[in-house]
Structure 1
Amino acid sequence: MSVSSLIVGGGGSHLTAAQRMALKTTAEQMCQSGKGLTACDEGPATIGSRFEAVGITNSEETRRIYRQMLFTAPGCENYLSGAILDPETLYQKSDEGVLFPELLKSRGILPGVKPHLKIYELPGTNGDTVMQGLDSLSVRCKEYVAAGAVFAKWRSPLVIDTSKGCPTDLAIRANMHDLARYAIICQSEGLVPIVEPDISLSGTHTLEESISINIKVQAELYKSMIDHGVYMEGSTLKPNIVNAGRDCPSSYTVDEIGSANIRVLRDVFPVAMPGANFLSGGQSLTEAAGRLNAMNKAKGNSPWNLSFSWSQALQLPLLDLCKGKGELQLEDMAKLYVEELEIASKAAKGEWEGEGGGHGTKRKLANMSA
């Protein structure tokens, strides 16, 4: 049997050679060294609550102007390979009348979209959840491609609660199978799928328990993707940063956290996938940057590009600039945003020299000495 026939018989065998090449090329562009993703896919209600918390009126026009700033801040293209958009944003235009996907592409930033719908609870699992939206996904993907999107991102949230036995095996299987089905639907419609198994930082679990659960979850994910026939080279990962729960009494250094994340990836992350863009998950910019920086210092000869896909870590400091002002401070926000992206870029290369990123007592001592 020839090598070419073996390749066609693996993941992506339902795709043409041209389709596989297009997906692989896009995935590799998303995983450029020193560049990451800006995650601005919050729905109108979520971004609205952030606006209202700092005294900004929530309207479609305010959301449009705000997102335009995130796409046009001078120099942001030096640090961004892509932007994840809410479907609303995908169809909005710049002040000059240019659709945002077209605007992003003109700056070398790939436009993506969040296609999942609402979360719902799995009965009999003590609170575990899954995302809705698979049944209508193929139709919506066609629409997103027509609007200019080249990748998508589906989030499957899980919570570690050892007292309740969560996440349950049922919830892990259901969520990871859903991610695999989403991935192959996206690829069939020409979108690179970002798979996002999001394990919350809430809880009391230790770093060691987090490592074990993250390995179990990701192992189930990749097996499901392979079983579904997903073309692994044409997909990427958006994982949580592996860490102890926020209320865990134990303390860990930033280097211990960085090594824990590399341990998980080395155990299960396929080398065929070009990279992982970590979510911030409620961490501050300093915490997320410190931990990402530690990962890149610890990864050695691991083949993947490890970068960022942050929302709150980048955006909350920007919105703080608007407190008491009553309107968006676009010029100051754009300046701070690019400064934040530079920090994220350095962390993605293991070159950030800031302090922070530990957990518990060791984190507090590090901050006190800074």
Structure 2
Amino acid sequence: MSVLTDFAGLAVEGGHFRLSSRRHKRRLHPKAHSKGDHAAKLASSFVKFLSDEDALRLEHVARSLVKPGLGILAADDSVKEIDATLKDFKLPHSFQSRRKLYEVFLGGTMELDRHLSGVLLREESILHTWPSGKRQLTHLIKDHNLKLGIRLDKGVVRLPGTEGEYSTWGLDTLGESCKRVKDMGAEFALWRCVYKISPTTPSRLAILENSTTLALFAMICQTYGLVPIVSAEVLQQGDHDGEEARQALREILVGLVKALQDHHVLLEGTLVRVTAAAPGCCYKGCQDTGQVAANTIKTLNECLPAAIGGVSSETDFCEGRILQIK
């Protein structure tokens, strides 16, 4: 694995999140609340939508997905992308062909669990590949001791009021989708939001919109017993340098953490997926991968609370796509 693969573990192991404390003067009163009463009041104000048993199960699944040395197979190709691959191989566009293509990679006697912790698919790909036997896919994955995950966002759309920034849609049917994929045997789900870096972006509006969307996704997923992977992907377009990328990632993560806490998301049962704080693809200067890794680790340590279930990078996902085998 590349140098960036291991920064996730470092960030979680040594991560910290400091909240500034303020001392307020209090007027003395004979019936003033004790510290214990105040803590109880704060605890009662927290909306608890998960039982202790459900919370522990989510934490266990989250930890198992980010075990050292294991990655997640990103096979979340759309049906259109799969059919394009079949066309390249001069194969017919049918669910039988799509099924056979998946079985080539997930079948057989390969010890996939030595390298992978889970497989990420799209719901539409499952429905168009196993129309009458979705459980066959679940068993195919479970036979390798892997966990099934589904990407649930419906893609990106332009965010009005911004300079070409994006939001992600699909929240209106997310509850129904969570129920369906849970019945399929899924244990985790992913939602992707993208950000762009320029002299005026990422804007506060884009950060607020996407942070809120990711937090709502995480909360709804946990309600249905799925571990959410909130993916904050910074596009590599542009000529920004490494420091600009680090500052942008910092602003994104600060907004994301606040939204997760505001929506009472169980942090221990949540995974965060980030891109490295790397210069843009049009950057003319020298790119030092060691410095990129150091900047990314520093930003994660500054922004993410240690309670987060795990952090994964682009390299922790087998992003080559199982269908790109030409």
Structure 1 residue 319 corresponds to structure 2 residue 299: no
Instruction: Trace 1:242-281 onto structure 2 (pairs within 5 A).
Output: 242-279=277-314
Pick the aligned partner of 2:317 from 309, 316, 322: 309
In 1, Cα distance between the equivalents of 2:107 and 2:45?
A: 41
Residue matched to 2:215: 180
For the pair 1:88 / 2:124, whether they are aligned, the reply is yes
Query: Are residues 1:239 and 2:274 paired?
Result: yes
Match of 1:160 in 2: 197
1:208 has 2:243 as partner? yes
Once the two structures are TM-superposed, the CA of residue 14 in structure 1 deviates from its matched residue by 1.4
Match of residue 19 from structure 2: none
CA distance 1:144–1:84, shift in 2 (3 Å): same
| CA 61–182 in structure 1, closer or farther in 2 if over 3 Å, else same | same
Which amino acid counterpart does residue 116 of structure 1 have in structure 2?
D
Alignment partners' CA distance in 2, 1:72 and 1:191: 25
Equivalent AA in structure 1 for residue 297 of structure 2: I
On the 8 A contact 1:111/1:149 being kept in 2, the answer is yes
Cα contact 2:78–2:125 (8 A) shared by 1? no
Q: How big is the shift at 1:80?
A: 0.6
Amino acid of the structure 2 residue aligned with 1:254: T
Matched, 1:120 2:126: no
The answer as to 2:144 corresponding to 1:136 is: no
How far apart in 2 are the matches of 1:128 and 1:116?
17
CA contact (8 A) 2:239 2:279 kept: yes
Q: CA deviation at 1:12?
A: 7.2
Number of paired residues?
A: 287
1:97 and 1:44 mapped to 2: Cα distance?
A: 16
- Conserved in 2, the CA contact under 8 Å of 1:11 and 1:226? no
TM norm structure 1: 0.71
Q: Which amino acid aligns with 1:139?
A: E
Structure number with bigger Rg: 2
Q: 1-side partners of 2:103 and 2:227: how far apart?
A: 24
RMSD: 2.6
TM-score by length of 2: 0.80
The Cα of 1:116 is off from its aligned counterpart by 1.0
Separation (CA, whole Å) in 2 of partners of 1:262 and 1:11: 31
Whichever residue aligns with residue 64 of structure 1, its letter is R
Any unmatched runs of 5+ in structure 1?
280-287, 289-307, 321-370
- The change in CA–CA distance for 1:22 and 1:274 in structure 2 (over 3 A counts) is same
Which residue identity does 2:234 align to in structure 1?
I
Change beyond 3 A, Cα 1:70–1:271? farther
Distance in 2, matches of 1:12 and 1:20, equals 14
Distance 1:23 1:12 in 2: 18
What residue number does 1:357 align with? none
- Helix, strand or coil: the match of 1:229? coil
Structure 2 counterpart of 1:123, one-letter code: P
Corresponding letter in the other structure for 2:318 = W
